[in-house]
Amino acid sequence: MAHSNSQRGVCLPMSERKRVTIKDLAAEVDVHYSTVSRVMNPATRHLVAEEVATRILKLAELRGFRPNRIAAGLRTQRSGLIGVVLPDIANPVFPPILAGIEAVLGRHGYVPIVVNAGVERARQRFVIDQLLARQVEGLVLATAERDDPLLDYCFQLGIPVVMVNRGEHTGRASCVVSDSQLAMALTVDHLVSLGHRSIGHIAGPASTSTGELRREGFMQAVKRHRLRRGAYAVVEAESYTREAGRRACAQLFEALPGLTAIAAGNDLVAMGCYDFLRERGLRCPEDVSVVGHNDMPFVDALTPPLTTIRIPVHDMGEQAAELLLRRIEKPQTATVVIELRPELVVRGSTGAPPGQG
């Protein structure tokens, strides 16, 4: 039997099929190709009548159409990508910030590329270069330090930047932060109201705005309460980690042997304090009260549940994304600092000092 060379009825591999284009879809729906283009971009879809948009999307799915974002980006100089640079993706404070960023970007047709950059500057610089090579339209930085060469580098390159959770004092970039000084005032006010008069603070790294501002807030609060000079002490943790918190807690007890309360720089540092107190055979809060900062997920499940400062992390992410998109659309927009209000959440890790319970 002779074999026909005809491919009628044969399912061709995807690589051999003709790629469906925007113009193909436009011809089939009988609209201009610019209408199809608008529908394929979530940021402009609302410009097309809902009935028409629905028909186009159904046909696109039926025909296996996928927009060529790379080609569109080259044509419009818009990639639809935003870089989000985190210092420690394992820190539970960042996922809700990221969720807020993603919610806003999604509504405007953008997609985040999230990178764990660590704290080493060479690694951070490499990450920025890699994101720029992928044509991100802007950056959300959660890594910024107070005098940050990485920020200088971004400004030199002219890439729109917004900072989240941490700020910088020069006012060159917009940022969304929590009011760290108010947070420490709330912390110290709470501890003093319970009767504590010997209070230590484990500060975050002074190179970060959060570390510096929370330290300043603590010092202002203890002075406002007229605690005598030998009744308070500050020790700086090497990083915002549990292990660094444990080591700093040991140093704090050496600096202030009679302390009855600790204001920790963040919740992970507070967990390190729990570890040290257990090693020493001390009870929380019967012997030493502990207050954290951030109200990260599951600190209410610790033993004892952690009293901490709640910061509006999801809102923080949303507002950072809004600021960045505004900067992308209007590069001359003035920089702003948005300071969100924290609140104290009292749980089981704070109580009256020994002898006053």
pLDDT tens track for 235-279: 999 999 999 999 999 999 999 999 999 999 999 999 999 999 999
Distances from the Cα of 116 to the Cα of 75, 87, 341, angstroms: 30, 6, 27
Please answer whether residues 244 and 91 qualify as being in contact, where contact means their C-beta atoms are separated by less than 8 angstroms.
no
Q: Strand pairing of 343-345 and 308-310?
A: antiparallel
Q: What pLDDT digit, counting tens, does each position of 139-178 carry?
A: 999 976 766 778 888 888 889 999 999 887 777 889 999 9
| 103-120 mean pLDDT | 90
Instruction: Compute the distance between CA of residue 311 and CA of residue 333 in angstroms, rounded to an integer.
Output: 27
SS3 321: helix
Q: Is 30 exposed, middle or buried (CB count within 10 Å of its CB: 0-12, 13-18, 19+)?
A: exposed
Q: Residue 357: which residues within 8 A CB-CB, separation 6 or more?
A: 286, 351
Residue 352: what residue type?
Answer: A
Distance CA 213, CA 311 (A): 15
The count of other CB atoms within 10 Å of the CB of residue 314 is 15
Q: Who contacts 74 (Cβ-Cβ below 8 Å, separation ≥6)? A: none
| 343: β partners | 310
Whether the Cβ atoms of residue 71 and residue 65 lie closer than 8 Å to each other: no
- pLDDT averaged over every residue in the chain: 88
Contact 152, 317 (CB under 8 A): no
| Helices marked H in 143-241 | 149-157, 180-193, 209-224
Please count the CA atoms within 13 angstroms of the CA of 320 that sit on its side-chain side. Answer: 36
Taking only the tens place, the pLDDT of each residue in 202-243 is: 999 998 889 999 999 999 999 999 999 899 999 999 999 999
* Overall average pLDDT of the 280-291 stretch: 98
3-state DSSP call for residue 99?
A: helix
Does residue 46 register a pLDDT over 70? yes
Size (the chain), residues: 357
Planar angle of CA 214, 215, 216, nearest 5 degrees: 90
Identify the structural domains of the chain with CATH numbers, from first to last.
18-67 (1.10.260.40), 77-178+313-343 (3.40.50.2300), 188-310 (3.40.50.2300)
∠ CA(111), CA(294), CA(82), 5° rounding?
15
Report whether pLDDT(77) > 90.
Answer: no
The model carries a pTM of 0.76
- What are 338's two structure tokens? 């948005």
| Side chain identity at residue 70, one-letter code | I
Instruction: Give every CB contact of residue 159 below 8 A, 6+ residues apart in sequence.
Output: 132, 136, 138, 139
pLDDT, residue 83, reads: 95
Residue with tokens 């012997």: 287
What sign for the dihedral angle of Cα 100, 106, 110, 115? positive
> Model confidence over 53-63: pLDDT tens digits?
889 888 888 88
